[in-house]
Structure 1
Amino acid sequence: MTRHVIVGKGAVGTTLAHLLADDGADVLVLSRSGGTSAGRITHAAVDATDVDALTAAVRGADVVYNCAAPPYHRWPTDWPPLWAALLDSAARTGAVLVSVGNLYGYATHGAVMTEDTPLDSTERKGMVRAQMWRDAEARHRAGDLRVTEVRAADYFGPYADSQAMVGPRFLTPLRAGKVVRTVVAVDQPHSWTYLPDLARALVAAGRTPDAWGRAWHVPTAEPLTVRELGERFAVGLPAPRIRPMPAAVVRALGLVSPLLREVAGVSDHFSEPYVMDTAASSRMLGLVATPWDAAVAETLGRTAVGGRA
């Protein structure tokens, strides 16, 4: 039986662990703080930047999933040592490394993104993510390891936490009929990835040798504006009241909030179309996106708004 190791226990790691366990697999979840083991899911405390400790924990695994999520404002400092350790441990153990990626490495200026869109972002978080993939791709081509990256748009779904754009901070006031304040523009088409679709794509990529050595987009439903997304989640309620904060206010708040400062740095993700094409990955991985109605119903039905299921 395939042995699965997940690095990171946030929204993505938790969703993936439950998907694998529900499918009958034994899963080891590694994080700095560990956790409570239950059923087929075992938690262990490991500093994933310590390559020797990580290698020891990973040894014997067939697939390692990178679901780590350093704080937004610490990507330039936290990702390089963590990514180096992940690559080295995969090379030492022979495990396939399947990494959660995102769209930050692209600089699209409104164009639809495909897996072949150049990684030419000049924003610092995007530059970090682009370099991570270049390093991994180079080592794969050299025969040093086996790796693939699965790139998601902003995600939503059960287990989505406070880091998610469409998490409790958005859904709780919306479902209560209150005004939802956003720090981004609300009327441009935007791709949104459903967390279970991301988890399924990670598993499929790890099982598909032809997918290794390149990046793939998560099969994702048709794009919606933030306003349209709010209308979907306000099913059965009066029309939602979604109010974007003025850009000047967001910039001012960024002086005291590292998170908002970084959000302001990628405001173009919402001030212009931010849409990805997922046709190639659907063909390669044999997956289709969950339709919007089902994804919304499952999110509202399985997640206690304001917390985790």
Structure 2
Amino acid sequence: MSSHVVVGAGPVGSAVARLLAEAGETVRVVTRSGSGPDHPLIERIAADARDARRLSELTRGAAVLYNCANMAYTKWPELWPPVSAALIRAAKENDAVLAITGNLYGYGPQPGGRMTERTPLAATGRKGRVRIAMWEDALASGIRTVEARGSDYVGAGADSIFSAVLIPAIAKGRTAWLPGDPDAPHTWTYVGDMARTLVTLAREERAWGRAWHVPSQPAVSVRELAARYAELTGSPAVRLRRLPRWVMRTAGLAVPMARELAEMDYQFYGPFLLDSQETESAFGLTPTSLDVALLEVGQSSRPTPSRRGSPAAPPTPTAVTPPK
């Protein structure tokens, strides 16, 4: 019997599992492949999270069930509902707390780009509506649940515009074509802070029944983040060029990934500001320095930049991965 069950072994799921195991808790990590961190207190199980019966069996006796899974970006409306329903059922049948790894998609575009825990869920896009439905279904089910919402991740293994666009450009000594405004202020959430927030909220009864924002450092632009990364890692300063907004929108007529990215492009063509003051005040959590996150990226990426790189062509829509 495991005290905690973590569904998903990506950067967040792995960080949650390690954090719990290092505190002496027993953890069961559930993925389709049976992957997960290597630790004596971590049991790795291969199972399909859409199988509600199997997931309920695997959650038996657990105090907390963590949803740290992610779905193919172009198939959220098809893939998320059965997984979310299975997680809710597993939590309900085992009287476990369901701790959900959330994001900011449910808010949709906001005036000035600022979002607090009290900002209404007003998204009208496909992915935003999926996240709203997941949260509302969890609340309506009567289970004990909580959601931690973070912005675009930075840190080892994090999949974001930073890792997908900037790191490859730095490694090749080429220009980075950014699908957004490189000077727009943007909040970045450290993967480790997401894990710590999830674990903290799952243990706190006063946190249940609502969503909280992950403590994150003040917003900085992609240009500022890239410059700091170069300074910390000794990498050459990357050249940034703004990809015209119409490129992804036009490509989206034929390329599914481009269509999904275009739907969410407001996050990078204007300010995108997460306010986490309420969470920080309520639970005494503080954000980790972005320097720590960037050094993790540098250590895991180990770029080998070319001395004489030439500007690369703008990325094809399929080459740019989603923020999460």
Fold-level similarity (TM above 0.5): yes
Q: Distance in 2 between matches of 1:233 and 1:67?
A: 27
Q: Distance in 1 between matches of 2:37 and 2:190?
A: 25
Residue of structure 1 equivalent to 2:81: 80
Residue of structure 1 equivalent to 2:292: 294
Retained in 2: the 8 A contact 1:155–1:165? no
> Mind listing any 5+ residue stretches in structure 1 that lack a counterpart?
none
Task: Determine if the alignment matches structure 1 residue 148 to structure 2 residue 146.
Answer: yes
* 1:303–1:182 CA distance, 2 compared to 1 (3 A): same
**What secondary structure does 2:112 align onto?**
coil
After superposition, residues 16-35 of structure 1 pair within 5 angstroms as 16-35=16-35
* 1:237–1:159 CA distance, 2 compared to 1 (3 A): closer
* 1:258–1:62 CA distance, 2 compared to 1 (3 A): same
After superposition, residues 1-309 of structure 1 pair within 5 angstroms as 3-35=3-35, 38-39=38-39, 40-107=41-108, 108-139=110-141, 144-160=142-158, 163-167=159-163, 169-235=165-231, 236-302=234-300, 304=302
Retained in 2: the 8 A contact 1:15–1:159? no
Retained in 1: the 8 A contact 2:107–2:120? yes
1:114-149 Cα distance to aligned partner (Å, 9 max, x none): 11100011111111111211122223xxxx310000
Q: Distance in 2 between matches of 1:278 and 1:27?
A: 28
Residue of structure 1 equivalent to 2:315: none
Retained in 1: the 8 A contact 2:166–2:238? no
* 1:203–1:2 CA distance, 2 compared to 1 (3 A): farther
1:224-277 Cα distance to aligned partner (Å, 9 max, x none): 111111111111344321122212222233344322221111111112211011
Retained in 1: the 8 A contact 2:5–2:66? yes
Q: Distance in 1 between matches of 2:163 and 2:27?
A: 25
**What secondary structure does 1:203 align onto?**
helix
Amino acid at match of 1:128: V
TM-score (norm. length: structure 1): 0.90
Q: Distance in 1 between matches of 2:185 and 2:89?
A: 39
Q: Distance in 1 between matches of 2:160 and 2:15?
A: 14
Retained in 1: the 8 A contact 2:18–2:37? no
State the 1:209 CA deviation: 0.8
Q: Distance in 2 between matches of 1:159 and 1:238?
A: 21
TM-score (norm. length: structure 2): 0.86
* 1:36–1:266 CA distance, 2 compared to 1 (3 A): closer
Q: Distance in 2 between matches of 1:20 and 1:258?
A: 37
State the 1:176 CA deviation: 4.6
* 1:215–1:37 CA distance, 2 compared to 1 (3 A): closer
**What secondary structure does 2:115 align onto?**
coil
Retained in 2: the 8 A contact 1:187–1:226? yes
After the TM superposition, which parts of structure 1 deviate over 6 Å for at least 4 consecutive aligned residues?
none
Retained in 1: the 8 A contact 2:113–2:270? no
Retained in 1: the 8 A contact 2:30–2:45? yes
Retained in 2: the 8 A contact 1:100–1:150? yes
1:12-51 Cα distance to aligned partner (Å, 9 max, x none): 1122222222333222110122126732222111111111
* 1:79–1:259 CA distance, 2 compared to 1 (3 A): same
Q: Distance in 1 between matches of 2:42 and 2:213?
A: 27
Amino acid at match of 2:197: A
Amino acid at match of 2:77: P
Residue of structure 1 equivalent to 2:312: none
Retained in 2: the 8 A contact 1:14–1:159? no
1:135-179 Cα distance to aligned partner (Å, 9 max, x none): 22223xxxx31000000101010122xx42222543232255321
State the 1:61 CA deviation: 0.7
* 1:130–1:29 CA distance, 2 compared to 1 (3 A): same
Amino acid at match of 1:272: G
Deviates more, 1:254-263 or 1:50-59: 254-263
Q: Distance in 1 between matches of 2:246 and 2:210?
A: 39
Retained in 2: the 8 A contact 1:151–1:216? yes
Deviates more, 1:248-257 or 1:180-189: 248-257
